[in-house]
Amino acid sequence: MKDASKNRKAELYSRLKTAIMTLELRPGADLDEAKLSEETGLSRTPLREVLRQLAGEGYADLRENRGARVSEMSHMTLRDFFLAAPMIYGAVLQLAAKHATPAQIVTLKAAQEDFKAALRSGSGADRAMANNRFHEVTGEMADNIYLQPSFQRLLIDHARISMTFYRPQSTEMAENVSEASAQHDAIIAAIETGDEAAAAQLAIDHWNLSRDRIELFVMPAGLDVPLGTVARKTPA
């Protein structure tokens, strides 16, 4: 019974994590404890343990007397995301190059193979989750208790933003994703050789690629104003 409950908890955690990151569960959506309990066979205590774990990792918010909900995304979230992302990615990959173990490098290479497989035949959600796993491993390599929570939240919102603007039939998107995969290979090489400077630069290059992709679908055609800036008004 104990093992069965543990397995159901792990399955629910994985299911909710994927649903949140792929926007099956939208930002701000309520997580109905009664419905989840009925679907999983979990009682209130283990169910709330899963929700607390998700909240602690940034996937959900716990509200007193109001239950849990998927973590919000707002204009302020997006502003903070674009300000912090290049700094956090750079620090994580630099530390990954410094601290990665041989076993972790093997895991990172396996994650990259899964990402390439998702590019060949997976859905947009498959690609988002495979990409997220690749970057999760680099966070594990960095092994920094101060960076890890921020990096985890960054990855959650990066996946959700990417899913929002993903266009599978777009030529630009296909080229962008292919370049992202090539950058993953370069990141692995830099980490494997312990080249901290190269890893940090690749983090910036990789971030700029994501930023360009998001801007491509956020910005209306003909409007050339980078995210995070305000357009100047033309005098009447």
Taking the C-alpha atoms of residue 140 and residue 96, their distance in angstroms, rounded to an integer, is 8
| List of domains in the chain | 2-70 (1.10.10.10), 75-218 (1.20.120.530)
Hey, what are 19's tokens?
Answer: 């649903």
Evaluate if residue 170 carries a pLDDT over 90: no
pLDDT given at position 63:
86
Average pLDDT of span 75-84 = 85
Question: What's the predicted TM-score (pTM) here?
Answer: 0.81
Taking the C-alpha atoms of residue 156 and residue 12, their distance in angstroms, rounded to an integer, is 17
pLDDT confidence tier of residue 234, bands split at 50, 70 and 90: very low
CB-based burial label for 78 (10 Å; 0-12, 13-18, 19+): middle
Strands, E, within the chain: which ranges? 30-31, 60-63, 67-70
Check: CB of residue 91 under 8 Å from CB of residue 147: yes
Alpha-carbon distances, residue 78 vs 83, 127, 135, 204 (angstroms): 9, 22, 20, 18
pLDDT given at position 139:
97
Taking the C-alpha atoms of residue 159 and residue 175, their distance in angstroms, rounded to an integer, is 18
